[in-house]
A and B are shown apart, each in its own frame.
Chain A
Amino acid sequence: MTETLAAYSLVAIYSAIAVYALAFIAYVLDLSKRTAVAQTAPAVAYTGTQSRSGGTAVAERTTVAAVAGTGATRYERIAFALTALGFAIHVASIVLRGIAAGRVPWANMFEFACMGTVFAVAVFLAVQLWRDVRFLGAFILGLVVLLLGLSAVNFYVPITPLPPALQSVWLVIHVLVATLATGFFAVGGGLSIVQLLQARREAGGLAKWRFLGSVPASDKLETIANRVIIVGFAFWTFTLIAGAIWAERAWGRYWGWDTKEVWTFIVWVLFAGYVHARATRGWRGTPSAWLAIIGFAAVLFNFTVVNLFFSGWHAYSGL
């Protein structure tokens, strides 16, 4: 029974990867076919929004408010439908694995990868309810296909019972919230990359990157990225605290500068820096976007290199 369900779960993961890959291709096609669509300003114009001054910036902003979501092609609709389908299969795979294992399905490297990527897609889908950021699909789905594919090929391990060290309610909370925060940072990092490109284009560069004409202006992107990242930051803060509580229960100290703790701390400090940069003159815009990207790179580093190559107490990769 366990083996059968686990096998179904693995088939589902590979299916999800395939569907995501198709979605990724469709998103890339969409971006390559997109053109800037300029429309007249809507009835309500932004007046006196802080930040950037000058007539051109204002004009651009009004253009964007109207264009967002309209410069896209039919590939985008296909891509989005595929993303939703892939997400459903992905979730089913994780649920199956959880049932097969009789425990939470996030206890080794392969399972962490499944969880982190499912949250990246979930956050990407959820943000659509609030702002249309489907142009980010190529980035998110590309990242997810890469991470999930590498993990399925290299990190797959059969289901094993939880070792005594992981038998704790804090496994459920700490790891769940950590992977959730990772999802938010992924979307925030992607938005920040587009923001950097857009800022360069607004400064007169990247003339050939036509799809940038159909995505929001850089300050708008910055606002969306900021909302996503601060949610991730709040979850990351909670991860850190929950981890400390668990460490106190399991190892007798709530903080001991274990390698994983060091990197969790570094990520936290980087995003704390990001939040402060957003409130510091001269650090808004491009510098803070770089911080968000560096922060997300540190998250990836913490998940991959630290788990695999650094020794420490968090030796739960299952490899």
Chain B
Amino acid sequence: MTSPSRSDRPADHVDNAGAVTNPRLGPVGWLRWGWRQLTSMRTALVLLLLMALAAIPGSLVPQRTSDPNGVIQFQQRDPETFRVLDSLGLFSTFASPWFSAIYLLLFVSLVGCIIPRTKHHLDALLARPPRTPARLQKLAAFQTAPTEADADTAIEAARVLLRKQRYRVERYGDASTGSISVSAERGYLRETGNLVFHVALVGMLLTVGVGGGFGYTGQRILVQGEPFTNVLASYDSFTPGRFFEESALEPYSLRLDAFDATYEFDLTTRAWHPSDFTASLGTRLPGGDWDSTDLKINAPVRIGGTDVYLLGNGYAPVVTVRDPDGTAIFSGPVPFLAMDANLTSRGVIKVPDGLAEQVAFSGFFYPDPLALSDGTFTSFSPYDNGESLLSLFAYTGDLGLDDGVGVNVYSLDPTTLTQIAGGDSGTPALQLNEGDVAELPGGLGTIEYEGLRRYVSIDIHHDPTPGWALLFAALVLGGLLLSLFVPRRRVWVKAVTDAGVTRLEYAGLARGEDPTLEAAVTELARQHREALGEPEPRMEP
């Protein structure tokens, strides 16, 4: 940097007479000052640490994105606290204004840092290694020793040696000035890696922020033999990205042909541990034929631009309810949700129309029933050995399905209903093995447990970003490794001739972390002396 000429000296310059006036900043000045502050390393560091701090609530409170049920449970458990926390955005921490503010400022600061550094680095890449400092004594690992060799020869040897060690080299000075030197620099990849790392982080943010908006995710329970077509109405639940359009769904079909679960019995804990889940999936692209493929956990099926994931599984007893004349009013598989590792499951059957009253059943399914001493059941294993048991309470009354409010098909609120079987109703619970038929109390009709099917719950995702995210992740890692482990350093070898005696001087300068600089300069000096055919330099600190 050159010293400023007299006319543009600041007012408080030491040579200026008179009072010191603080500089007045206009709007542009303030903007520039703000920008400088924002893009300073210190600010970036504080923002970084703030971001770590701000992320903590996201792990303490259930998040809508990762644990929507947890959020609902929280709300039911403690509506007051929920209201307060929700107004602070704590249930969507990572989309909240304060978290967004931190990372957006951080990334603005980052961009403000990358741009000038990129320009600076490009200049450095094009420039020659800088002029050798006049006094090397002040630099790291300085060593000096007299030499018999001619100054020019010595420096040429040093140049060749440094070149071989992948330094960029430049000679300065000539014999007439009594000082010849070679200036060398290496490790430009360190800064390149640094810039790649930071640019890739920005790329990652854009990928997730913008690309993620084109995706969607939906869930569906797929019962054996009941095909699913990929249209919006077929989903049990569906979460579109910001830019999702329904036309993006490709109407392929899926069908669960079979489901095999393997368990191992652990003698020590007397528990069944799953060792494999395999769903045999029929797939059909629009206009094509059914094809067969296996779906496993950790091995999604890719079809029609989406990925299909296996989440859960369970049993779906096929139940038929008939009116007193024997006409089937309701018939079909009913998925029961697993409650434990042995697939003791819970489910609900609702029959709003066709019988004299609205009827609902709620109860348990035991794949491998085992009677307990208190008259209840448990399931001894998750396997169905043909003796599976359906144990149901029956209710009559208004099921609340007619008033247009969405009702969860897997739950039943019995408080407004009249219990007609099981519990305190005076009639025992209906217990059906596969193939059994039971009379409903009050001559309402019959219920039959006809057969058993498996079901799986699947997750269907479309996300255009993973390829990009992986690319940027690779760049982040690669850039990081370069910026952390490539030493950037300058090294100088100078031959000073004074009164006919030539002395060699060696010194280095670390640019960033460089714990091996001293060793590198010492080794260079040794090799250089060896190349000149001279003994180990006598160290003169």
Q: Which residues of A contact B (CB under 8 A)?
A: 43-50, 158, 160-165, 167-168, 223, 226-227, 230, 233-234, 237-238, 241, 244-245, 248-259, 262-263, 265-266, 269-270, 272-273, 275-283, 291, 306, 310-313
Structural contact, A245 and B470, CB atoms closer than 8 A: yes
Question: Per a CB cutoff under 8 Å, which of A44, A230, A262, A266 touches B484?
Answer: A230
Complex Cα spacing A266 to B56, Å: 8
| Chain A to chain B contacts (Cβ below 8 Å), 9 pairs | A164-B274, A223-B515, A233-B484, A245-B470, A249-B298, A262-B56, A263-B59, A269-B55, A312-B66
User: What residues of B have a CB within 8 angstroms of the CB of A281 in the complex?
Assistant: 41-42
Verify B539–A310 contact, CB threshold 8 A: no
Chain A residues contacting B480 (CB-CB under 8 Å) are 233-234, 237
Cβ-based interface call for B401 (8 A): no
Q: Are A241 and B513 in contact (CB under 8 A)?
A: no
- CB nearest to B307 among chain A residues: A252
Identify the closest chain B residue to A158 (Cβ).
B268
Chain B residues lying within 8 Å of A311, measured Cβ to Cβ, are 62, 67, 70
Write the B258-276 contact mask toward A (1 if CB under 8 angstroms, else 0).
0000001010110001111
**Nearest chain A residue, comparing its CB with the CB of B40:** A280
Q: Which residues of B pack against A, CB within 8 Å?
A: 41-42, 44-45, 48-49, 51-52, 55-56, 58-60, 62-63, 65-67, 70, 93-94, 137-142, 208, 217, 264, 266, 268-269, 273-277, 296-300, 307, 309, 459, 461, 463, 466, 469-470, 473-474, 476-477, 480-481, 484-485, 510, 512-513, 515, 518, 522, 539, 541
Contact A49 B298 (CB under 8 A): no
Please state if A276 and B48 are interface contacts (CB–CB under 8 Å).
Answer: yes
Task: Please name the residue on chain A nearest to B141 by beta carbon.
Answer: A47
Shortest distance between the CB of B396 and any CB in chain A (Å) = 38
Give bound CA distance, A253 to B476, whole Å. 19
7 new A-B contacts at CB < 8 Å, known A164-B275, A164-B297, A311-B67: A48-B142, A50-B510, A161-B264, A165-B298, A167-B298, A276-B44, A291-B49
Beta-carbon contact of A164 and B59 below 8 Å = no
Knowing A47-B140, A160-B266, A276-B45, the reply to whether A306 touches B59 (Cβ < 8 A) is: yes
Contact A161 B273 (CB under 8 A): yes
Contact residues in A for B539 (Cβ distance below 8 Å): 43-44
Say whether A256 contacts B66, CB under 8 Å. Answer: yes
Docked Cα-Cα span, A311 to B515, in Å, equals 43
Q: Which residues of A contact B510 (CB under 8 A)?
A: 50
A309 to B56, CA, bound (A): 15
Residues on the B chain within 8 Å of A46, using CB: 518
CA distance A184 to B434 in the complex (A): 59
Given contacts A44-B539, A230-B484, A249-B299, contact A162 B275 (CB under 8 A): yes
Q: Are B59 and A50 in contact (CB under 8 A)?
A: no
Contact check, A158 vs B269: say whether CB atoms are below 8 A apart. yes
A101 to B190, CA, bound (A): 44
CA distance A262 to B93 in the complex (A): 11
B298 touches A250 (CB 8 A): yes
Contact A277-B59, Cβ < 8 Å, known A164-B297, A165-B298, A244-B473: no
Task: Contact check, B298 vs A158: say whether CB atoms are below 8 A apart.
Answer: no
The residue in chain B whose Cβ has the minimal distance to the Cβ of A261 is B66
What separation, in Å, do the CA atoms of A230 and B141 have in the docked complex? Answer: 24
Measured in the bound complex, the distance between the Cα atoms of B208 and A95 in whole Å is: 40
Quick one: closest A residue to B48, CB to CB?
A273
Known: A47-B140, A237-B480. A269 touches B70 (CB 8 A): no
> Chain B contacts of A248 at CB under 8 A?
466
Does B42 contact A282, Cβ atoms closer than 8 Å?
A: yes
Contact of B66 with A278 in the complex, beta carbons under 8 Å: no
User: Given that A253-B463, A257-B58, A265-B55 are contacting pairs, would A280 and B477 also be in contact in the complex, using a CB cutoff of 8 Å?
Assistant: no
Q: In the complex where A168-B298, A279-B41 touch, is A269 in contact with B461 (Cβ < 8 A)?
A: no
Minimal Cβ-Cβ distance residue in A for B273: A160
Q: Which residues of B contact A256 (CB under 8 A)?
A: 65-66
Assuming the A-B contacts A266-B52, A273-B49, are A251 and B296 also in contact, with contact meaning beta carbons closer than 8 angstroms in the complex? no
Q: Which has the most chain B C-beta neighbours within 10 Å: A46, A237, A238?
A: A237
Please measure, in the bound complex, the distance between the C-alpha atom of A311 and the C-alpha atom of B62, giving whole angstroms.
9
Q: What are the 4 closest A-B residue pairs judged by CB atoms, nearest first?
A: A262-B59, A252-B461, A269-B52, A164-B297
Considering the chains assembled together, what is the distance between the CA atoms of A273 and B48 in angstroms? 6
CB B189 to nearest CB in A, in angstroms, measures 15
Tell me which residues across on chain B come within 8 A of A43, comparing CB atoms. Answer: 539
Are B274 and A270 interface neighbours, CB within 8 A? no
Q: What separation, in Å, do the CA atoms of A165 and B461 have in the docked complex?
A: 18
Please name all residues of chain B whose beta carbon is closer than 8 Å to the beta carbon of A50 when the two chains form the complex: 140, 510
Is there contact, CB below 8 Å, between B45 and A257? no
Q: Contact between B138 and A48 (Cβ–Cβ < 8 Å)? A: yes
Question: Which B residues touch A44, using CB under 8 A?
Answer: 518, 522, 539, 541
Look across to chain B and name the residue whose beta carbon is closest to the beta carbon of A130. B515
**With a CB–CB cut-off of 8 A, which chain A residues contact B461?**
252-253
Contacts of B62 in A (CB 8 A): 311
Measured in the bound complex, the distance between the Cα atoms of B137 and A168 in whole Å is 58
Q: A41: nearest residue on chain B (CB-CB)?
A: B541
B49 x A45 contact (CB < 8 A) = no
Contacts of A226 in B (CB 8 A): 513
Quick one: which of A253, A277, A312 has the most chain B CB within 10 A?
A: A253
Q: Is the CB of A252 within 8 A of B298?
A: no
Complex Cα distance, B139 from A121, in Å, reads 38
**CA A311 to CA B66, docked complex, whole Å:** 11
Q: How far is the CA of A164 from the CA of B296 in the complex (A)?
A: 8
- Closest chain B residue, CB of each to CB of A167: B298
Question: Are A277 and B473 CB-contacts (below 8 A) given A227-B515, A266-B55, A313-B66?
Answer: no
Instruction: Select B45's contact among A47, A49, A234, A280, beta carbons within 8 Å.
Output: A280
Residues in chain B near residue A275, CB distance under 8 A = 484
Asked whether A257 lies within 8 Å of B94 as measured between CB atoms, the reply is yes
Q: Which residues of B contact A234 (CB under 8 A)?
A: 477, 480-481, 484-485
Task: Give Cα A213 to B142, complex, Å.
Answer: 28
- Which of B52, B269, B296, B474: most chain A CB closer than 10 A? B52
Task: Check if A276 sits within 8 Å of B469, measured CB to CB.
Answer: no
Smallest Cβ distance from B257 to chain A, in angstroms? 19
A250 to B: closest C-beta gap in Å: 5
Residues of A within 8 A of B44 (CB): 276
- The residue on A at minimum CB distance from B309 is A252
- Decide: A270 near B52, CB < 8 A? Known: A248-B466, A259-B59: yes
B70 close to A273 (CB less than 8 A): no
